[in-house]
Amino acid sequence: MAIHNILNTSGEWLRSEGPHHQIVVSSRVRLARNLKSFSFPGWAKKHERLQILETIKPQVEALPEMNDAFSVYSQDLSALEKQVLVERHLISREHAAKGVGSAVVMNRRQTLSIMINEEDHLRMQAIRAGLQLKSVFKMIDKVDSALEERLDYAFHAHLGYLTACPTNVGTGMRASAMVHLPALVMSEQINQVIQAVNKIGLAVRGLYGEGTEALGNLFQVSNQTTLGEKEDEIIARLHKVIEQIIEHEQNARQMLLQKKPNTLLDHIGRGYGILRHAYSMNSKEALNLLSFMKLGIDLGFFPENCRQPIDELFMETQPAHLQKGTQQKLAAEERDSLRAEIVRAKLSEFPRPDIGPSKPPGPSEGNGSQN
Amino acid sequence: MHCDVCKTNQATVFLTQIVEGKMQKVNLCEACSKEKGVTDPTGFALADLLLGLGAAQEMERGGAVQKCLVCGFSQADFKKTGRLGCASCYTTFADGLSSLLKGMHKGTEHLGKVPARLAKTLERESALKTLQRDLRKAVADEDYESAASIRDQIRHLDVE
């Protein structure tokens, strides 16, 4: 399968579906594995990395799940193509920086992706829409079990799967869910939630993982530790916490509707107005405004058929996705105007927010305005 | 007090976080705290930050071994990258790593999945270890009857 097939079809997990899909965008589980008798990729010399690559790649391609897969060496992907894959969470930012000696194999549905010679010899992930950590884990566990029959993993009786970074040793598993929490951000409760989640050994990060900003009110919640706990226990704990976060977000939404309806409607109305009429927009602004549109749909201010186009725009307004259709690389200004154009076109048929007869409320909303 | 990251500027930001009952502390200067995103409300867990800082020192305290015989990776390399060289490094630097892992994870023993192919071998190895310990004890206690039976069990395992 060719790269353009991957680039031109969005992954299955981008569809607005799955349990709790309004708040949980996607669930992802990745496993880190290494071969016994080779140095880890960061320390291995180039010839050794090539040897590792040629040991692993055929075995990955032979998996039944990888029937009709897209398989490519890192040096055969352009910087832009790599960036598109990063934006779709199919490869990591670190992997995008790799050249000769690395590769990625992914299935047609873009639910499975296996990076070879990233930080570890194998980084394999499964991703799906909505909250379904358990089934996502099953998917990747099956792939792992098939591969371990043919590859000699580095495994220690007490420490489990050995990884380049000691933070991943043990299960080598990182399970995460991407959650959309606009109401917790607006009501300034998000820090409390993050702190509470941190306290029980889970991490909250921005859109693209470690050290990235939480754009568009999107957060990744994941397990922090990998040693001393079974995989299914980690998954169950994370699942429970995500369910609680969903509940908090829903409560925060109800509170905003009751106590600060004008603030809420103002955000959504401005989002709608700017997205429909702007002629230049950077990706940060786009994500933040799209977040309010998504919230507006969740709250019934827009019809349900607006959901899919908005969810698609979250991806299509990202810098690399924007440029994949254009012939040459665009300057920042050109990107911003192209972005605004795409957004305007997609929203041209959108009705105005239907705030219903009961809203907006009376004149007194305290000092509900924001700066 | 100096900043834990740049080690030159005066530390003005003091962070303490309790994760599952373990206290983690870090002192930073203004510039480094901004760079590491700790002042950013969405900047989150200390663990990522601490890993880069404390890890190397923990390793140094661990012992005299400087270099992995299998891959040539050294403690200095770990200090630079925060990553290890190969699977054998876990054995080479075991002493230093054990306290590092203890502070970093929920436990010190892997409880999760075991590769099916290895499961049997590992089980036998651990059974063998237990038997050998029992055997030594039996001999020391001059309980030769038990010793003989244990020796037979060990032989049996070896044949398998």
Which strand (E) or helix (H) includes residue A211?
none
Nearest to B115 among A153, A200, A204 (CB): A153
Residue A147 forms contact with B (CB below 8 Å): no
User: What residues in B contact A164, CB-CB < 8 Å?
Assistant: 83-84
In this structure, which amino acid lies at residue B48? Answer: D
* Interface test mutation site (partner B, options A37, A124, A169, max chain B beta carbons within 10 A): A169
Evaluate if residue A5 carries a pLDDT over 90.
no
pLDDT for position A199: 86
CA distance A119 to A33: 10
**Residues A8-33: tens digit of each pLDDT:** 777 777 777 788 999 999 999 999 99
Average pLDDT over residues A33-44: 95
pLDDT for position B98: 86
pLDDT for position A205: 86
Residue A150 forms contact with B (CB below 8 Å): no
Residue found by looking up tokens 């998996």 in the block:
A63
CA distance A104 to A333: 32
Evaluate if residue A278 carries a pLDDT over 50.
yes
pLDDT for position A210: 57
Q: Is residue A129 classed as helix, strand or coil in its secondary structure?
A: strand
Average pLDDT over residues A248-274: 95
A209 touches A118 (CB < 8 A): no
CA distance A159 to chain B (A): 5
Average pLDDT over residues A328-354: 92
pLDDT for position A68: 85
Q: What is the mean pLDDT of chain A?
A: 90
Ranges in chain B, pLDDT < 50 = 40-44
Q: How big is the A-B interface in CB pairs under 8 Å? A: 144
Residue A155 forms contact with B (CB below 8 Å): yes
* Interface test mutation site (partner A, options B106, B117, B122, B124, max chain A beta carbons within 10 A): B106
Q: How far is CA A341 from CA A271, A327, A345, in A?
A: 15, 17, 6
pLDDT for position B59: 62
Instruction: Compare all CA atoms of chain A with the CA of B90 and give the residue at the minimum distance.
Output: A162
pTM score, whole prediction: 0.81
In percent, the amount of chain A with pLDDT more than 90 equals 79
Kindly determine whether residue A229 and residue B125, on different chains, have CB atoms separated by under 8 Å: no
**Residues A154-211: tens digit of each pLDDT:** 999 899 999 999 999 999 999 999 999 999 999 999 989 988 998 888 999 877 655 5
**Residues B38-58: tens digit of each pLDDT:** 654 444 455 555 555 555 565
Nearest to A39 among B85, B110, B114 (CB): B85
Is residue A370 very low, low, confident or very high in pLDDT (cuts 50, 70, 90)? very low
ipTM over 0.85: no
Tokens of A342: 């795409």
* Interface test mutation site (partner A, options B23, B110, B123, max chain A beta carbons within 10 A): B110
pLDDT for position B53: 57
Evaluate if residue A100 carries a pLDDT over 80.
yes
Evaluate if residue A306 carries a pLDDT over 70.
yes
Residue found by looking up tokens 């799209």 in the block:
A290
Residue A284 forms contact with B (CB below 8 Å): no
Evaluate if residue A297 carries a pLDDT over 80.
yes
